Chains A and B, each alone.
Chain A
Amino acid sequence: MPTEASTDETRSDEELIALLNQGDSEAFEIVYRRHRDWVATVALRITGDHALALDVLQETFLYFLRKFPGFTLRCQLRSFLYPAVRNLAIAARRQAARLQSDGGTFPEIAGSGHDNASAPDRIQLNRVVAALPEGQREVLLLRFADELSLQEIAEALDVPLGTVKSRLHNALGALREAPETKKFFDE
């Protein structure tokens, strides 16, 4: 799909959306390539399943595409996309769980499983992250796994900036206290 000659990576999302409103499919290609991996990452984290994550990726960009023409972006694009990704991923996970004959459940949150840390380290980290309240975990991962700014997170979750800061503060406090992650703060 990508063709280096046809893309202009320097354009902002806002500029690309203006082009998309004019029917420019190359602008879609750039937007897609810019945010594709992040959408797939969030989807995988929520569904815990590679195939479901790809379904969610597809549905998310079809949803985005259907906004055109006439779409106005009122926040950062990732903040706009996040509720759609999250909701589609939760729906996909529930639907798949219903179809599973053994009634098994998906993990509440899933790591990518191909990081460089050793397996015990990863399990320890997963344990600490999984133990966080959902709101804190969500903010923590949006901030440090996805590298969204606090303002972007506030817009994505539709909560005040102060709430994001408070949740993040509490999450960091929990990591600071947890035996598995305490050592990082002592270094």
Chain B
Amino acid sequence: MNDTEPNNEPSLELPPALARRLKDAYGRPPVIPAELDAQLQGEACEHLRRPQSTASKRLLPFPRWLAAAAALVAAAVVTWAPVGSGRKDGFQQADLNGDGQIDVLDSYQFARRLQHGDKLEPSLDLNGDGVVDAKDLEILTARVVQLGKQKG
């Protein structure tokens, strides 16, 4: 693909026989059942048929029950939190790419920053153990995957 692009340099090419071996070994898809195709097409029809305003509501990053739960938690924090406690829910601070949604891309961004040793906001200490590390990444990833399933 795109072999004529100037950024694909000859010095970065493999001998054709080896390239074929790699393609054979790692580039072949698994068998995909027709039921899965049909199911996804059905999901697409249903999702795309919705009026845009309704669809937009469903695309909000949090489902309604979670918003209600968040409101309860917020109320509890306001009521019972010690004076001076400024801690925010780290999950809500996890929109790392700033696109208004908390999803797998934020999780990916988190992983990249961790991998590169970048400084991460203390609010991302999701398990509250005092450090922002791979355990917090796991929590975030589990949450976004879970949210994705609920929205799906």
Give the B-binding residues of A (Cβ under 8 A).
1-2, 20, 23-25, 28-29, 32, 36-38, 40-41, 44-45, 50, 53-54, 57-59, 61-63, 65-70, 83-84, 86-88, 90-91, 94-95, 109, 111-112, 114-117, 121-122, 125-126, 129, 140-141, 143-152, 158, 161, 165, 168-169, 172, 175, 181, 184-185, 187
Would you call B104 and A25 a contact (CB within 8 A)? Answer: no
Would you call B103 and A63 a contact (CB within 8 A)? Answer: yes
Would you call A69 and B30 a contact (CB within 8 A)? Answer: no
Q: Please name the residue on chain B nearest to A150 by beta carbon.
A: B7
Would you call A58 and B28 a contact (CB within 8 A)? Answer: no
Q: Contacts A62-B43, A66-B59, A84-B104 given: A125-B25 contact, CB under 8 Å?
A: yes
Would you call A158 and B44 a contact (CB within 8 A)? Answer: no
Would you call B1 and A115 a contact (CB within 8 A)? Answer: no
Would you call B15 and A44 a contact (CB within 8 A)? Answer: no
Q: Report A-chain residues with C-beta under 8 Å of the C-beta of B142.
A: 91, 95
Q: Contacts A59-B148, A87-B111 given: A25-B49 contact, CB under 8 Å?
A: yes
Task: Tell which of A53, A63, A67 touches B30, judged by Cβ atoms closer than 8 Å.
Answer: A53
Q: Report B-chain residues with C-beta under 8 Å of the C-beta of A88.
A: 104, 145
Q: Report B-chain residues with C-beta under 8 Å of the C-beta of A67.
A: 59
Q: Contacts A28-B44, A65-B44, A165-B9 given: A114-B15 contact, CB under 8 Å?
A: no
Would you call A69 and B55 a contact (CB within 8 A)? Answer: yes
Q: Report A-chain residues with C-beta under 8 Å of the C-beta of B111.
A: 87
Task: Tell which of B1, B11, B103, B151 touches A148, judged by Cβ atoms closer than 8 Å.
Answer: B1
Would you call A83 and B32 a contact (CB within 8 A)? Answer: no
Q: Contacts A126-B25, A140-B22, A184-B15 given: A37-B152 contact, CB under 8 Å?
A: no
